[in-house]
Chains A and B, each alone.
Chain A
Amino acid sequence: DTEVTQTPKHLVMGMTNKKSLKCEQHMGHRAMYWYKQKAKKPPELMFVYSYEKLSINESVPSRFSPECPNSSLLNLHLHALQPEDSALYLCASSQRTATIYYGYTFGSGTRLTVV
């Protein structure tokens, strides 16, 4: 399995809702990432998990709450979002050894619309 799977593919939520995005990989990668991408813009890093521990938080508002339950799963919990949070949310994973760097594998994303 060489994929990163994201669910759902599309999500519409109200500003008072609570929802979660899910990301799963079975490549044995020990680093996982959440990126946010607005239309016609490059992806922007939100969070980095390394060995299931949060290692980087790019000053993301607390209405976004990441969780890494195990080495294969990464969740992004959403609460009280704003319309400007509407975007494509991308999950990625990566792995390196002492001699080989495998690079980043991205999922196909969740298209989030906040109404």
Chain B
Amino acid sequence: AQSVTQLGSHVSVSEGALVLLRCNYSSSVPPYLFWYVQYPNQGLQLLLKYTTGATLVKGINGFEAEFKKSETSFHLTKPSAHMSDAAEYFCAVSDTGANSKLTFGKGITLSVRP
């Protein structure tokens, strides 16, 4: 079974500050890892994903994440927060099977202060 842990429910940063959203996973097989963003009253948009290869993954809107197997982590970062980054962020994991299921963390709300 797979699981994702996102500690905390809310992160607040100032505009221009570093964004760091933490994600730890548990998986018995090599995982696929994802970060999704959800703006109010919208669906989920894929920010980035790790499947194989390079462990530092770059995504849209200046976000990136690093897969660290030894720490079972996949933290999301952005060097400089923008007001438009305020949203709900979900980390998710799936296995590599044909009928894989995407398992989400509980999500974290990012607020950006002017």
CA A108 to CA B36, docked complex, whole Å: 13
Taking the nearest CB of chain A, how far is it from the CB of B100, in angstroms? Answer: 8
CA A107 to CA B43, docked complex, whole Å: 6
Contact (Cβ within 8 A) B32 A42: no
Taking the nearest CB of chain B, how far is it from the CB of A23, in angstroms? Answer: 11
Residues of B near A50 (CB, < 8 A) are: 98-99
Question: How many Cβ-Cβ contacts under 8 Å join chain A to chain B?
Answer: 54
Residues of A near B2 (CB, < 8 A) are: none
Give the number of residues in B that approach A within 8 Å (Cβ atoms). Answer: 23
B44 within 8 A of A: yes
B28 within 8 A of A: no
B102 within 8 A of A: yes
Taking the nearest CB of chain A, how far is it from the CB of B62, in angstroms? Answer: 19
Taking the nearest CB of chain A, how far is it from the CB of B111, in angstroms? Answer: 14
* B 21-51 contacts with A by CB, 8 A: 32, 34, 36, 41-46, 49, 51
Residues of A near B49 (CB, < 8 A) are: 101, 103
Decide: A101 near B32, CB < 8 A? Known: A42-B105, A45-B101, A50-B98.
Answer: yes
Nearest chain B residue, comparing its CB with the CB of A50: B99
Decide: A106 near B34, CB < 8 A? Known: A42-B107, A48-B99.
Answer: no
Contact (Cβ within 8 A) A42 B46: no
CA A42 to CA B43, docked complex, whole Å: 11
Nearest chain A residue, comparing its CB with the CB of B48: A103
Taking the nearest CB of chain B, how far is it from the CB of A31, in angstroms? Answer: 8
Contact (Cβ within 8 A) A106 B44: yes
Residues of B near A90 (CB, < 8 A) are: 43-44
Contact (Cβ within 8 A) B43 A108: yes
CA A51 to CA B94, docked complex, whole Å: 19
Residues of A near B74 (CB, < 8 A) are: none
CA A41 to CA B9, docked complex, whole Å: 11
Seen from chain B, the residues whose Cβ lies within 8 Å of a Cβ on chain A are 32, 34, 36, 41-46, 49, 51, 90, 94, 96, 98-102, 104-107
Give 14 pairs: A residue, B residue, CB < 8 Å, sorted on A: A31-B99, A42-B105, A42-B107, A43-B90, A43-B104, A45-B101, A48-B99, A48-B101, A50-B98, A56-B101, A90-B43, A90-B44, A104-B34, A108-B43
